[in-house]
Amino acid sequence: MQEPDIMDILRKAWDNYKHNAKVLTLVATFGAAIPTIGYTIFTFYREITEIFDKSHAAAASSTAPFVHLLFFIILCVFLYATSLGLINISNKALKNEPVTFKDAFLANNQLEELFKAGGFLGLLILLGYILCIIPGIILGFLFTFVPYVLIIFPRKTVGESFTISRRLTTKYLKTTIIIALILAAINTIAGASIIGIIISMPVSVMTNTVLFTTLAEIENNNDKANNILR
């Protein structure tokens, strides 16, 4: 079985990121910074209010967990929507097509399928983390390519996207695990600041886009008759 060259994938991803860094960074900033800034402003306002209004402090403390959960959900939705836009931009960039900020906004019919898939995947991963951390990590890894399938091959259904993602990650396990570990290390280090997230998010998406399209091309060359990506 032909295995992709990991260094070629990383080099190609980095070159395409540098070439389209302005648009990618702008999209990542829009998606990551807005909910984060909103949460920071709200937290600051709540703390100031508690200092000057003691009667409000008790009520605010009782609702704090729900407010934090709400903002966490909003942040996850923003980040997921941002990643979808970055996938679309990365895919166009790999085809040497000009990209703009508008490419981050997908068609409504695509968004419906993507959010169905994202919601289902999120529940699966959450269930995995509730049962034990490791199953959640495994599920997240197996279905990494679900949104990539739906964006790059828009005729595929949600169910097919899960099947394709699982097949590619398991068939090319060595390559996908190594790149997943590299990206995990980058995101862990960069996740300490909002600036780091803004940089690491498009780098990760571009890398996964290159990886997915490379694996899809290998599949097509190996078995055109039975290729699940056709």
Residue-by-residue DSSP string for 176-230 = HHHHHHHHHHHHHHHTTSHHHHHHHHHHHHHHHHHHHHHHHHHHHHH-STT-TT-
Lowest mean pLDDT among 103-117, 170-184, 185-199: 103-117
In this structure, the number of other CB atoms found within 10 A of the CB of residue 170 comes to 11
For the chain, the domains span 6-222
Nearest to 212 by CA among 4, 1, 2: 4
Calculate mean pLDDT across residues 188-206. 87
Share of the chain above pLDDT 90, in %: 43
Q: How many residues does the chain have?
A: 230
pLDDT digits (tens, 9 = 90+) for 122-162: 777 677 667 667 777 888 889 999 999 999 998 898 899 99
Residue labelled with tokens 């980058």: 186
Alpha carbon 87 to its chain centroid, in Å, reads: 8
- The token pair that represents 21 in the structure block: 């860094």
> Which pLDDT score, from 0 to 100, does residue 56 have?
53
Q: For residues 31 and 81, is the Cβ–Cβ distance under 8 A?
A: yes
The single residue listed with the structure tokens 């699940």 is 228
pLDDT at residue 23 in the model: 94
Q: Classify residue 143 by its DSSP letter.
A: T
- Residue 178 CA, chain-centre distance (Å), reads 18
In the Cβ-directed half-sphere of 74, how many Cα atoms lie within 13 Å?
Answer: 13
CA–CA dist 23, 45 (Å, integer): 33
Mean pLDDT confidence for 98-118: 79
Q: Which helix (H) or strand (E) element contains residue 71? A: helix 54-94
What pLDDT, on a 0 to 100 scale, did the predictor assign at position 107?
62
What is the rounded distance in angstroms from the CA atom of residue 9 to the CA atom of residue 25? 21
Summarised one tens digit per residue, pLDDT across range 76-94 is 788 888 899 999 999 999 9
Asked whether residue 226 carries a pLDDT value surpassing 60, the answer given is no
Model confidence at 14, pLDDT cuts 50, 70, 90, reads very high
Cα–Cα dist 97/33, whole Å: 27
In contact, 115 and 124? CB cutoff 8 Å? no
Reported confidence tier of residue 21, pLDDT bands at 50, 70, 90: very high
The mean pLDDT of 103-126, rounded to a whole number, is 75
pLDDT, residue 63, reads 59
Residue 212, both tokens: 């997915």
Is 149 or 229 the better-scoring residue by pLDDT? 149
The answer on pLDDT for 172 being more than 90 is yes
- Two structure tokens written together for 148: 């990539």
